[in-house]
A = this chain, B = another copy of it.
């Protein structure tokens, strides 16, 4: 399993992914699920993947090597807009399905992949965040719901539902996705450390912060402890009901 979350805020994007891959609970590895496609000062695109690792890697490879359409070969380095980037990722997913789908079905393996695509291309003046499904179709985050999640999304959703708003500051957003990830890490063993964080400020065309956070990271440890302690204190401070019978 995997947990990836992306925020599309007024100031830019916050992206976070775990690194655990597993084929059964006795075969666990670390794979980065965050893939970067950038030309400094021209485009910055990040791809976060969940689902079957073979499919995800095939999609990422196709997007690097290029997909031919109408006598051109397109990659995420050449697409003119983020919308076209989302279409291209969807097309890559469909091509992998055409190659591998039937054989996987014959082995009763579900064709399961989902992708977060975030970034900005020069000239458009805004960062965008998309979620691409196994069928290659996609949705975009909007100011009403400025976050998207893939993989094991339920444990970490309540805090996002309650707090994230479009005008949340980028580094407040960082705190929120770390809390959301922490809830998921605690409840699902197949989501695991280290985690990869990326902060992108709108207009910058280069990432503002990219960091691999390990178990030893002091800030993340402080966030985890403080959050747990605050929840315990909050619940202690709430009055008991005065219901009877």
Contact = CB atoms under 8 A, between A and B. Distances in A.
A19 interface: no
Number of this chain's copies in the assembly equals 2
Given A187-B154, A240-B171, A230 B226 contact: no
Given A219-B243, A227-B234, A234-B234, 7 more contacts: A157-B187, A158-B187, A159-B231, A172-B236, A175-B241, A179-B235, A209-B243
A162 interface: yes
A232 B162 contact: yes
A134 to B, nearest CB: 21
Interface of A: 154-155, 157-159, 161-163, 171-172, 174-176, 179, 183, 186-187, 208-211, 219, 222-223, 226-228, 230-232, 234-245
A157 B155 contact: yes
Contacts of A236: 172
A223 B171 CA distance: 28
A209 to B, nearest CB: 6
